Amino acid sequence: MVAKRIIPCLDVAEGRVVKGVNFVGLRDAGDPVELACRYSASGADELVFLDIAASHQGRATLVELVRRTAEAVTIPFTVGGGISSVEGITELLRAGADKVSLNSSAVRDPELVSRGAERFGCQCIVVAIDARARDQGQPGWDVYVKGGRENTGLDAVAWARRVVALGAGEILLTSMDGDGTQAGYALALTRAVADAVEVPVIASGGAGCIDHIAQALDAGPSGGHASAALLASLLHDGVLTVEQIKRDLLGRGLPVRPLAASC
Protein backbone atom coordinates (compact mmCIF):
# COMPACT_ATOMS: atom_id res chain seq x y z
CA MET A 1 0.00 0.00 0.00
CA VAL A 2 1.34 3.43 -0.97
CA ALA A 3 2.22 5.55 2.05
CA LYS A 4 0.17 8.66 2.74
CA ARG A 5 2.19 11.88 2.85
CA ILE A 6 2.20 14.81 5.27
CA ILE A 7 3.25 17.98 3.47
CA PRO A 8 3.80 21.37 5.15
CA CYS A 9 2.96 24.33 2.92
CA LEU A 10 4.97 27.53 2.91
CA ASP A 11 2.87 30.33 1.41
CA VAL A 12 5.29 33.19 0.82
CA ALA A 13 4.72 36.90 0.20
CA GLU A 14 7.40 39.58 0.36
CA GLY A 15 9.94 36.99 1.48
CA ARG A 16 7.97 35.80 4.52
CA VAL A 17 5.68 32.83 5.18
CA VAL A 18 2.10 34.06 5.57
CA LYS A 19 -1.24 32.49 6.43
CA GLY A 20 -4.79 33.75 6.07
CA VAL A 21 -8.41 32.62 6.01
CA ASN A 22 -10.22 32.02 2.70
CA PHE A 23 -7.19 33.49 0.88
CA VAL A 24 -7.42 36.87 2.67
CA GLY A 25 -6.38 38.46 5.99
CA LEU A 26 -2.76 37.33 5.68
CA ARG A 27 -0.56 37.25 8.80
CA ASP A 28 3.15 36.66 9.20
CA ALA A 29 4.08 33.06 10.09
CA GLY A 30 7.87 33.15 9.96
CA ASP A 31 10.99 32.83 7.85
CA PRO A 32 10.61 30.37 4.95
CA VAL A 33 14.09 28.89 5.13
CA GLU A 34 13.89 28.41 8.89
CA LEU A 35 10.48 26.76 8.69
CA ALA A 36 11.48 24.58 5.74
CA CYS A 37 14.51 23.31 7.62
CA ARG A 38 12.44 22.63 10.74
CA TYR A 39 9.86 20.61 8.83
CA SER A 40 12.50 18.68 6.94
CA ALA A 41 14.07 17.69 10.25
CA SER A 42 10.72 16.82 11.81
CA GLY A 43 9.88 14.02 9.40
CA ALA A 44 7.71 15.79 6.81
CA ASP A 45 7.53 13.82 3.58
CA GLU A 46 7.68 16.79 1.23
CA LEU A 47 7.32 20.57 1.20
CA VAL A 48 5.28 22.88 -0.97
CA PHE A 49 6.60 26.42 -1.43
CA LEU A 50 4.08 28.82 -3.03
CA ASP A 51 4.82 32.44 -3.92
CA ILE A 52 1.18 33.43 -3.52
CA ALA A 53 1.51 36.96 -4.92
CA ALA A 54 3.56 36.15 -8.02
CA SER A 55 0.71 35.49 -10.48
CA HIS A 56 -1.41 38.41 -9.25
CA GLN A 57 1.59 40.77 -9.46
CA GLY A 58 2.66 39.42 -12.84
CA ARG A 59 6.19 38.47 -11.83
CA ALA A 60 8.29 35.35 -11.60
CA THR A 61 8.74 33.29 -8.44
CA LEU A 62 11.55 34.40 -6.09
CA VAL A 63 14.24 32.07 -7.43
CA GLU A 64 16.96 33.00 -4.95
CA LEU A 65 14.68 32.27 -2.01
CA VAL A 66 13.80 28.96 -3.65
CA ARG A 67 17.49 28.16 -4.01
CA ARG A 68 18.25 28.92 -0.35
CA THR A 69 15.24 26.94 0.81
CA ALA A 70 16.07 23.96 -1.37
CA GLU A 71 19.65 23.92 -0.07
CA ALA A 72 18.38 23.76 3.51
CA VAL A 73 16.16 20.69 3.21
CA THR A 74 16.63 17.01 2.48
CA ILE A 75 13.12 16.12 1.26
CA PRO A 76 11.31 16.66 -2.06
CA PHE A 77 10.24 20.21 -2.67
CA THR A 78 7.52 21.66 -4.91
CA VAL A 79 7.58 25.30 -6.01
CA GLY A 80 4.71 27.32 -7.44
CA GLY A 81 3.69 30.86 -8.26
CA GLY A 82 4.23 32.95 -11.37
CA ILE A 83 5.51 30.10 -13.57
CA SER A 84 4.44 30.83 -17.14
CA SER A 85 6.93 29.06 -19.42
CA VAL A 86 9.12 26.00 -19.84
CA GLU A 87 12.06 28.32 -19.22
CA GLY A 88 10.56 29.29 -15.88
CA ILE A 89 10.13 25.62 -14.97
CA THR A 90 13.75 24.97 -15.96
CA GLU A 91 15.01 27.82 -13.78
CA LEU A 92 13.20 26.57 -10.69
CA LEU A 93 14.27 22.96 -11.15
CA ARG A 94 17.86 24.14 -11.56
CA ALA A 95 17.46 26.18 -8.37
CA GLY A 96 16.76 22.95 -6.49
CA ALA A 97 13.04 22.28 -6.75
CA ASP A 98 11.95 18.70 -7.37
CA LYS A 99 8.58 19.66 -8.86
CA VAL A 100 6.78 22.77 -10.02
CA SER A 101 3.16 23.71 -9.40
CA LEU A 102 1.16 25.37 -12.17
CA ASN A 103 -2.12 27.14 -11.47
CA SER A 104 -3.14 30.33 -13.28
CA SER A 105 -0.67 29.64 -16.08
CA ALA A 106 -2.18 26.19 -16.70
CA VAL A 107 -5.63 27.73 -17.17
CA ARG A 108 -4.24 30.43 -19.45
CA ASP A 109 -2.07 28.01 -21.45
CA PRO A 110 -3.05 24.36 -20.86
CA GLU A 111 -0.38 23.16 -23.29
CA LEU A 112 2.24 24.38 -20.79
CA VAL A 113 1.35 21.29 -18.77
CA SER A 114 2.08 19.09 -21.78
CA ARG A 115 5.30 20.90 -22.68
CA GLY A 116 6.55 20.66 -19.12
CA ALA A 117 5.67 16.98 -18.82
CA GLU A 118 7.28 16.15 -22.15
CA ARG A 119 10.53 17.86 -21.21
CA PHE A 120 10.86 16.99 -17.53
CA GLY A 121 8.47 14.08 -16.96
CA CYS A 122 4.97 13.96 -15.50
CA GLN A 123 6.38 13.47 -12.00
CA CYS A 124 7.74 17.04 -12.09
CA ILE A 125 4.46 18.71 -13.02
CA VAL A 126 1.87 19.44 -10.34
CA VAL A 127 -1.29 21.33 -11.23
CA ALA A 128 -2.75 23.34 -8.37
CA ILE A 129 -6.52 23.77 -8.40
CA ASP A 130 -8.13 26.38 -6.15
CA ALA A 131 -11.82 25.47 -6.01
CA ARG A 132 -14.88 27.04 -4.41
CA ALA A 133 -18.42 25.66 -4.11
CA ARG A 134 -20.88 27.30 -6.46
CA ASP A 135 -23.37 29.83 -5.09
CA GLN A 136 -27.09 29.39 -4.51
CA GLY A 137 -26.96 25.70 -3.89
CA GLN A 138 -25.74 24.80 -7.37
CA PRO A 139 -23.83 21.49 -7.39
CA GLY A 140 -20.11 21.35 -8.05
CA TRP A 141 -17.09 23.60 -7.66
CA ASP A 142 -15.57 26.34 -9.81
CA VAL A 143 -11.85 26.83 -10.44
CA TYR A 144 -10.34 30.16 -9.37
CA VAL A 145 -7.03 31.72 -10.40
CA LYS A 146 -4.85 34.73 -9.58
CA GLY A 147 -4.69 33.89 -5.89
CA GLY A 148 -8.41 33.17 -5.72
CA ARG A 149 -9.39 36.51 -7.21
CA GLU A 150 -10.87 35.34 -10.51
CA ASN A 151 -13.50 32.69 -11.22
CA THR A 152 -12.64 30.89 -14.45
CA GLY A 153 -16.01 29.18 -14.74
CA LEU A 154 -14.21 25.85 -15.15
CA ASP A 155 -15.59 22.84 -13.31
CA ALA A 156 -12.97 21.59 -10.84
CA VAL A 157 -13.49 17.87 -11.52
CA ALA A 158 -13.52 18.27 -15.30
CA TRP A 159 -10.44 20.51 -15.13
CA ALA A 160 -8.58 17.94 -13.05
CA ARG A 161 -9.34 15.27 -15.64
CA ARG A 162 -8.12 17.51 -18.44
CA VAL A 163 -4.80 18.48 -16.88
CA VAL A 164 -4.04 14.86 -16.02
CA ALA A 165 -4.71 13.95 -19.65
CA LEU A 166 -2.28 16.71 -20.62
CA GLY A 167 0.46 15.22 -18.43
CA ALA A 168 0.08 16.46 -14.86
CA GLY A 169 1.51 13.90 -12.46
CA GLU A 170 -0.21 15.23 -9.35
CA ILE A 171 -3.08 17.52 -8.31
CA LEU A 172 -2.78 19.99 -5.44
CA LEU A 173 -6.43 20.64 -4.58
CA THR A 174 -7.29 23.56 -2.30
CA SER A 175 -10.77 24.25 -1.00
CA MET A 176 -11.07 28.02 -0.91
CA ASP A 177 -14.09 27.66 1.36
CA GLY A 178 -12.01 25.75 3.91
CA ASP A 179 -8.69 27.56 3.58
CA GLY A 180 -7.42 28.63 7.00
CA THR A 181 -10.73 27.93 8.76
CA GLN A 182 -9.56 24.74 10.55
CA ALA A 183 -13.12 23.42 10.07
CA GLY A 184 -12.03 20.35 8.12
CA TYR A 185 -11.12 19.51 4.54
CA ALA A 186 -13.80 19.65 1.84
CA LEU A 187 -14.21 15.88 1.72
CA ALA A 188 -16.83 15.79 -1.05
CA LEU A 189 -14.67 17.95 -3.31
CA THR A 190 -11.49 16.02 -2.54
CA ARG A 191 -13.18 12.66 -3.04
CA ALA A 192 -14.77 13.75 -6.33
CA VAL A 193 -11.43 14.83 -7.78
CA ALA A 194 -9.45 11.90 -6.37
CA ASP A 195 -11.94 9.43 -7.82
CA ALA A 196 -11.88 11.18 -11.21
CA VAL A 197 -8.13 10.94 -11.85
CA GLU A 198 -5.44 8.29 -11.66
CA VAL A 199 -2.71 10.49 -10.16
CA PRO A 200 -2.16 11.44 -6.51
CA VAL A 201 -4.33 14.21 -5.09
CA ILE A 202 -3.05 16.41 -2.26
CA ALA A 203 -5.86 17.69 -0.02
CA SER A 204 -5.49 21.31 1.08
CA GLY A 205 -7.56 23.83 3.00
CA GLY A 206 -9.26 23.42 6.36
CA ALA A 207 -7.28 21.08 8.59
CA GLY A 208 -8.01 21.82 12.26
CA CYS A 209 -7.11 18.57 13.99
CA ILE A 210 -5.72 15.09 13.35
CA ASP A 211 -9.25 13.75 12.78
CA HIS A 212 -9.56 16.05 9.78
CA ILE A 213 -6.28 14.79 8.34
CA ALA A 214 -7.29 11.17 8.81
CA GLN A 215 -10.65 11.83 7.14
CA ALA A 216 -8.99 13.40 4.10
CA LEU A 217 -6.66 10.40 3.69
CA ASP A 218 -9.34 7.79 4.39
CA ALA A 219 -10.12 5.60 1.36
CA GLY A 220 -13.54 4.61 2.73
CA PRO A 221 -16.89 5.79 1.32
CA SER A 222 -17.01 8.92 3.49
CA GLY A 223 -13.29 9.75 3.31
CA GLY A 224 -11.48 12.18 1.03
CA HIS A 225 -9.48 9.49 -0.83
CA ALA A 226 -6.46 11.83 -0.90
CA SER A 227 -2.88 10.60 -1.22
CA ALA A 228 -1.47 13.42 0.90
CA ALA A 229 -2.53 16.17 3.28
CA LEU A 230 -1.19 19.71 2.98
CA LEU A 231 -0.86 21.59 6.28
CA ALA A 232 -0.05 25.15 7.22
CA SER A 233 -1.63 26.83 10.27
CA LEU A 234 -1.61 23.73 12.49
CA LEU A 235 2.14 23.36 12.01
CA HIS A 236 3.14 27.02 11.78
CA ASP A 237 1.30 27.82 15.03
CA GLY A 238 2.71 24.80 16.87
CA VAL A 239 -0.69 23.21 17.47
CA LEU A 240 0.60 19.89 16.15
CA THR A 241 3.90 18.44 14.99
CA VAL A 242 4.55 16.13 12.07
CA GLU A 243 5.61 13.44 14.53
CA GLN A 244 2.34 13.67 16.49
CA ILE A 245 0.32 13.46 13.29
CA LYS A 246 2.20 10.46 11.92
CA ARG A 247 2.06 8.51 15.17
CA ASP A 248 -1.67 9.08 15.41
CA LEU A 249 -2.28 8.08 11.79
CA LEU A 250 -0.24 4.91 12.26
CA GLY A 251 -2.42 4.08 15.27
CA ARG A 252 -5.47 4.35 13.02
CA GLY A 253 -3.97 1.90 10.54
CA LEU A 254 -3.15 4.51 7.90
CA PRO A 255 0.18 3.89 6.15
CA VAL A 256 2.68 6.72 6.60
CA ARG A 257 6.40 6.95 5.98
CA PRO A 258 8.88 6.51 8.87
CA LEU A 259 10.14 9.52 10.80
CA ALA A 260 13.63 9.44 9.38
CA ALA A 261 14.30 12.83 7.75
CA SER A 262 16.98 15.21 8.96
CA CYS A 263 18.04 18.75 8.14
Which residues are catalytically annotated? Answer: 11, 130
Going by C-alpha positions, the residue among 256, 263, 259 that lies closest to residue 5 is: 256
Residues 6+ apart with CB under 8 A from 109: 84
Position 78: which residue type? T
Cα–Cα distances (Å) from 11 to 80, 193, 224, in that order, read: 10, 23, 23
**Taking a C-beta distance cutoff of 8 angstroms, is the pair 164, 197 a contact?**
yes
- How many CB atoms are closer than 10 A to CB 222? 9
Residues 6+ apart with CB under 8 A from 138: none
Position 70: which residue type? A
d(CA 125, CA 25): 29
Going by C-alpha positions, the residue among 80, 107, 106 that lies closest to residue 93 is: 80
Own/partner pairs for 69-74, CB < 8 Å, 24+ apart? 69/10, 69/32, 69/33, 69/36, 69/96, 70/95, 70/96, 70/97, 71/96, 72/33, 72/36, 72/37, 72/40, 72/263, 73/36, 73/37, 73/39, 73/40, 73/47, 73/263, 74/40, 74/261, 74/262, 74/263
